[in-house]
Amino acid sequence: STLLPCGMRQWKQLGEVLVAASITNTLSHSHSATLNLPRTLAVGLNQTLILKILSNPTLHPSHKLRFFEWSRSHHNPSPAAYSLILRALSRAGNFSDIPSLLHSMTQDGVVLDPHTLNLLLHSFILSSNFNLALQLLDYVQHLHLDPTPVYNSLLAALLAKNQLSLALSIFFKLPHAVDSKSIACNQLLVALRKADMRVEFKQVFQRLREKRGFSFDTWGYNVCIHAFGCWGDLVTCFELFKEMKDAKGLVAPDLCTYNSLIAALCRLGKVDDALVVWEELNGSPHQPDRFTYTNLIQACSKTYRLDDATRVFNHMQSNGFRPETVVYNSLLDGHFKATKVTEACQLFEKMVQEGVKPSSWTYNILIHGLLRNGRAEAAYTMFCDLKKKGQFVDGITYSIVVLQLCREGQLEEALQLVEEMESRGFVVDLVTITSLLISIHRHGRWDWTDRLMKHIREGVDPVSYTYNSIMSSFVKKGYFTEAWAILTEMGEKFCPADIATYNMIIQGLGKMGRADLASAVLDRLLKQGGYLDIVMYNTLINALGKAGRIDEVNKLFEQMRSSGINPDVVTYNTLIEVHSKAGRLKEAYKFLKMMLDAGCTPNHVTDTTLDYLGREIDKLRFQKASILSEKDDPS
Q: Quote the CA–CA distance of 402 and 399 in Å, as a whole number.
A: 5
- Is the CB of residue 159 less than 8 Å from the CB of residue 187? yes
Average pLDDT for 431-436: 72
Which of the four pLDDT bands, split at 50, 70 and 90, describes residue 426?
Answer: confident
Average pLDDT for 95-115: 84
Q: Quote the CA–CA distance of 327 and 318 in Å, as a whole number.
A: 15
- Is the CB of residue 439 less than 8 Å from the CB of residue 409? yes
Q: Quote the CA–CA distance of 491 and 504 in Å, as a whole number.
A: 17
pLDDT, the chain, mean: 80
- Is the CB of residue 159 less than 8 Å from the CB of residue 191? yes
451 or 111, which is more confident: 111
Helices (H), 247-359: 255-267, 271-282, 290-302, 306-318, 325-337, 341-353
Which of the four pLDDT bands, split at 50, 70 and 90, describes residue 363?
Answer: very high
Average pLDDT for 425-452: 70
- At 225 the pLDDT is 97
- At 18 the pLDDT is 63
Q: Quote the CA–CA distance of 533 and 498 in Å, as a whole number.
A: 11
Residues 65-91: b if buried by 16+ CB within 10 A, e if exposed: bbbbbbbeeeeebeebbbbbbbbbbbe
Phi, psi torsion values for 282, nearest 5 degrees: -65, -30
Whether this prediction's pTM lies above 0.75 is answered by no
pLDDT(627) > 60: no
- Is the CB of residue 406 less than 8 Å from the CB of residue 414? yes
Using CA atoms, how far residue 623 sits from 39, 577, 616, 619, in Å, is 106, 21, 10, 6
**Percent of all residues in the chain with a pLDDT value above 70, rounded to a whole number:** 74
Residues near 137 by Cβ (< 8 Å), separated by ≥ 6? Answer: 147, 150, 151, 154, 170, 174
- At 3 the pLDDT is 41
Average pLDDT for 444-473: 58
Which of the four pLDDT bands, split at 50, 70 and 90, describes residue 226?
Answer: very high
Ranked by mean pLDDT, the top range of 43-47, 140-144, 536-540 is 536-540
Using CA atoms, how far residue 85 sits from 52, 64, 74, 188, 351, in Å, is 12, 7, 17, 34, 70
- At 419 the pLDDT is 82
Q: Quote the CA–CA distance of 232 and 253 in Å, as a whole number.
A: 20
Rounded to the nearest 10 degrees, the angle between the axes of helix 534-546 and helix 550-562 is: 170
Ranked by mean pLDDT, the top range of 141-155, 178-192, 438-452 is 178-192
Return the amino acid letter for 568: D
Average pLDDT for 374-388: 93
- At 37 the pLDDT is 61
**582 sits in which H/E element:** none
Count of CB atoms situated within 10 Å of the CB of 322: 11
- Looking at 55-64, 140-149, 398-407, which range is the least confident one? 140-149
**635 sits in which H/E element:** none
- At 628 the pLDDT is 47
For the chain, give every domain's residue range. Answer: 44-145
